[in-house]
Structure 1
Amino acid sequence: MKDREVVQSVLDSINQENNKNPPEIEITRGSQEGDGYVSETYAISIKNHKGEVTNLFVKSLPDDIKSWKEAFVEAFNTEYNFYTEIYPVLDQFQRNKNVQDPFNNVPKHFSTKIKNNQTPPIVLENLKSLGYVLRDRKKPIDDSHLELSIKALARYHAINYAMKDQQPEKYKKLTIGVGDVFGKYLIKFGMEDTIKKCVDQLIKGFDPVMDKIILDHLDNLTERLIDYLTKIFLDCDEYFIMGQGDCWSNNMMFLYNDQTKPIDVKIIDWQCQRISSPLFDFSYFFYTLATKKELDNAEHYLNLYYDTLSQRITELGSNPQKVFNYQIFREHYRKYSLFGLCMGFINVKAQLFEEGEVPNMLNPGGDVNPLEAFSGILRNQDVYVKRMRDLIEYFINQDLL
């Protein structure tokens, strides 16, 4: 796909004056190593004759994907469908309700049309140009980042529950194009072997005396987790909605009022959106980020999520006791939280990768499985072992493992 064709398509879409021949166009790399693993990205800065600048972030699929091509194409199309079909309908629903502080925690999307039946790129506002940045993935999460993100997820889920309640046929139609990239490909592409190697590494890193209680619970852990993953993706009940699906650290960008205090968050990368319990999103986000400090205070974050969810469902005109009451919420917590531990084996490593350790997910070369990079020993392996030890201990203490 030609950069110039993308630029012209975007210019036509946003209807800038004299956009046929913009005075200045600058195209640069869209993300750094470790920012994202799946799409080819670049930034476009367009300055018109008045000096007005439009900054765009473009995601596209390269033509030379060497592995997992089917999965990556499906993931890309899932995200494109979210921005073009799903979010506009959800957003219109909430705005018709005139709620204060509506969910707007996704970047603005620009529609494009590409000739020759090529897959259109995903063209978004460049959040970096607005001051949004990725949180340093190697640093422990703090309360302000956690609470801001949890509230945003809850508000997004609330729109789904309210619309599903009030406009069931329209909501059902909206979900038709939502697939399940995670469920379809997670086991197929080597998750079992990756988890096994990570579990073996942890066991070797534990002290046989100090960690005896934990070690006693790790018998057949790989088999138990894979069995859980294999079965859990087949689940579906009346409380399932369209989740984000890939709520890890690098899929959220933050705006700060100073160097430390986040005041807004944008959720990016909707490639793995799926029909699921909202506890999939919560557990994936919280348990892959939480250190012992946050795990010890997990009930606070769980209640923060549910309080925000139920309040927004009410504001949107539905009854949370009907659509997703607290008892069902706790049942889902006990059933789906283990998903967070499963993803922790990979995502905690992803957070701790140093330069040179980040895998090339698109083109690893040859027959190399991209997940293989998550099976190796990190330079920060001691931090990884500590994080996973605390996480496993939490699940044992909560009788979730």
Structure 2
Amino acid sequence: MDNATDNYPSSSVLRALQQLLEIKFPSQSFTYKLLPATKKGENYIGIVYRVAVKVNNKTGPCQWSLILKIPPRSPNRRKQFFVRPCFLRESLAYEEFLPMVKGFQNSKGISKEHSFHEYAECFQCLTDEFDEAIFLEDLGLQDFSLFDRFDELRFEHVATVMRAYAKLHAVSFAIKDQDYSGGLEKFRKIQDIFEQRKGDPNLNYYFEGLKRSAVACMKAEDVMPKKVLIRFFERPFFDIFLDLIDGNKCEPYAVVCHGDCWNNNIMFKFEDAKLISLCLLDWQLLRYSSPLTDLMYFLFTCTSKEFRGLYYNDVLNVYYAELVLHINRLGSNPSKLFSREIFEKELHRIGAVGLIFAMIVLPIITIKGDDVPNLEELSEQVEKGKSRDLKESGLLSEANVATYGKRMRDVVIDCINFGYIK
């Protein structure tokens, strides 16, 4: 870890943990220890521990565990990684949005099998500044695991992700349509994390550097694609990005989105080598936007050009079929709320957001854990205005430059071929 003191739970968090365990195991003695739950490069905003609990009961000792997610307390890292707003956003997801989703589906008599339930149970959230914490069930106890982001996702993985997002978005559409519990008005008003950061000059410099890095990935023979890309980049990065994700501009087709749809935020469960379930993690970028922002984020950062060439339309069809099915289950009319015609129009209107997310996330996805820069040092460099592009930040080096370059170029070519940038 970067700094053992700053990254260890505060006394307030430890007291809350003790109280939670006393409630979980009344009249029983227990001990616990904190173990790192993620590897280097798997988590950037939060620090994740597995709390290994040994319980002594009448039949003998037993083992249990939960996940404890806390922010770093380093001021620079909190500022540069926008830690507090992200933790407040995730707490909002676990304390208000996901309970609303569950309550609405229960009110319709939807079984768990057919509901959107692909998220971890949250035991408690703490939101006091510098003492933020989220206590979650340990999905490892149910044999969920991360898929190695350096391996190729198969069709079954992507189709299962598409179905999960379809159910999530369908619930939002139906809640809005039926004005359940006041609808989504509270979530419509939340300001996107990126909107909150648009005035940060260092981040603006960094994002403008992402544009230059993307252009540099194009080959000599990519004369026309490079011209198209440069024309697309004529406006400032934030102007392009925020236009695409602005929930108000997406109305009446905006929903509450997961927001951070990459490999390390999805855990899969297999049974006899067959994929049977998944769970979505990290709701820190929860946003109110077009449902297609989630799809484009995932498909352009987590799948290869080869996969998209074979299955792109197929997985979009899987998504839309499940969306229709779940909206119908919930008692609303999918043709009225998000017809296939509108779906296709929205796909072409904001599909370019896949390119934007790829620019931000591909450097992280393609870097090996051991090569990830020290986050404390990176935060200090950014604070001093000395990490204005991928190479200065350490996210692009000899170790991943070729992989990043190929995948970034592939995304540009696909976005042009699909008609998303012109």
In the superposition, the TM-score normalised over structure 1's length comes to 0.89
**8 Å contact from structure 1 (residues 78, 179) kept in 2:** no
Give the stretch that moved more between structures: 214-223 or 345-354.
214-223
- Aligned pairs (5 A) from 1:271-290: 271-290=284-303
SS at match of 2:64: strand
Q: 1:143 aligns with which of 130, 141, 155?
A: 155
The answer to whether the aligner puts 1:333 opposite 2:333 as a matched pair is: no
User: Does the residue aligned with 1:105 lie in a helix, a strand or coil?
Assistant: coil
The CA RMSD measured in Å over matched residues stands at 2.7
Distance in 2, matches of 1:225 and 1:82, equals 30
How far residue 360 of structure 1 moved from its aligned partner, in angstroms, is 4.5
Matched, 1:55 2:65: yes
Which of 403, 409, 415 lines up with 1:395 in the alignment?
415
The answer (yes or no) to whether the contact 2:172–2:184 under 8 Å persists in 1 is no
Closer/same/farther in 2, CA of residues 230 and 161 from structure 1, 3 Å limit = closer
1:347 corresponding residue in structure 2: 361
Q: C-alpha displacement at 1:292, in angstroms?
A: 1.6
Partner amino acid for 1:213? M
Gaps of 5+ in 2: 1-9
Between 1:355-364 and 1:140-149, the stretch displaced more is 355-364
2:245–2:293 CA contact under 8 A, matched in 1:
no
User: Secondary structure at 2:324's aligned position in 1?
Assistant: helix
Aligned partner of 2:41 in structure 1 is 34
Aligned-residue offset at 1:333: 0.9
**Residues 156 and 205 (structure 1), Cα distance of their counterparts in 2 relative to 1, 3 Å cut:** closer
Alignment partner of 2:382: what SS?
coil
Q: Which amino acid aligns with 2:26?
A: E
The alpha-carbon deviation at position 381 of structure 1 amounts to 1.9
Of residues 297-306 and 184-193 in structure 1, the stretch that sits farther from structure 2 once superposed is: 184-193
Quick one: distance in 1 between partners of 2:329 and 2:194?
32
Separation of aligned partners in 2, 1:307 and 1:134: 26
**Against the structure 1 CA distance between its residues 365 and 203, is the aligned structure 2 distance closer, same or farther, given a 3 Å change threshold?**
closer
CA distance in 1, matches of 2:151, 2:68: 28
* % same residue: 25
Point out the more displaced range, 164-173 or 272-281. Answer: 164-173
Q: Pick one of 25, 32, 55 that aligns with 1:25.
A: 32
SS, match of residue 288 in structure 1 = helix
Give per-residue Cα distances to partners, 1:3-40, cap 9 Å, x unaligned: 641321222443x2325x42x31211121111111012
Q: Are 2:91 and 2:125, in contact at CA under 8 Å, matched by a contact in 1? A: no
Pick aligned residue for 1:125 from 127, 132, 137:
137
Q: Distance in 2 between matches of 1:161 and 1:362?
A: 41
The secondary structure found in structure 2 opposite 1:49 is strand
Cα deviation, 1:71-116, whole Å, max 9, x if unaligned, reads 21011011011111221121111122222421111011102679x8
Specify which of 197, 211, 217 is matched with residue 228 of structure 2.
Answer: 217
Q: Is the 8 A contact 1:161 1:323 kept in 2?
A: yes
Q: After TM superposition, give the deviation of residue 129 of structure 1 in Å.
A: 3.0
| Aligned residue among 109, 116, 129 for 1:98 | 109
Q: Secondary structure at the match of 2:33?
A: strand
Indicate conservation of the 8 Å contact 1:103/1:152, yes or no.
Answer: yes
Which of 314, 317, 321 is 1:307 aligned to? 321
2:258 match: 244
Q: Is 2:17 the counterpart of 1:7?
A: yes
Q: CA separation in 2, counterparts of 1:374 and 1:206?
A: 21
Separation of aligned partners in 2, 1:49 and 1:169: 43
Q: Distance in 2 between matches of 1:291 and 1:148?
A: 17
1:31-56 Cα distance to aligned partner (Å, 9 max, x none): 11111110122111222223343311
Structure 2 contact 35–50 (Cα < 8 Å) conserved: yes
Distance 2:374 2:189 in 1: 28
Aligned residue runs from structure 1 range 112-261, under 5 A: 119-168=131-180, 170-175=182-187, 178-185=190-197, 188=200, 190=202, 192-209=204-221, 211-224=222-235, 226=237, 227-236=239-248, 237-258=251-272, 261=274
1:264 paired residue number: 277
Flag the 1:164–1:357 CA change in 2: closer, same or farther, 3 A.
same
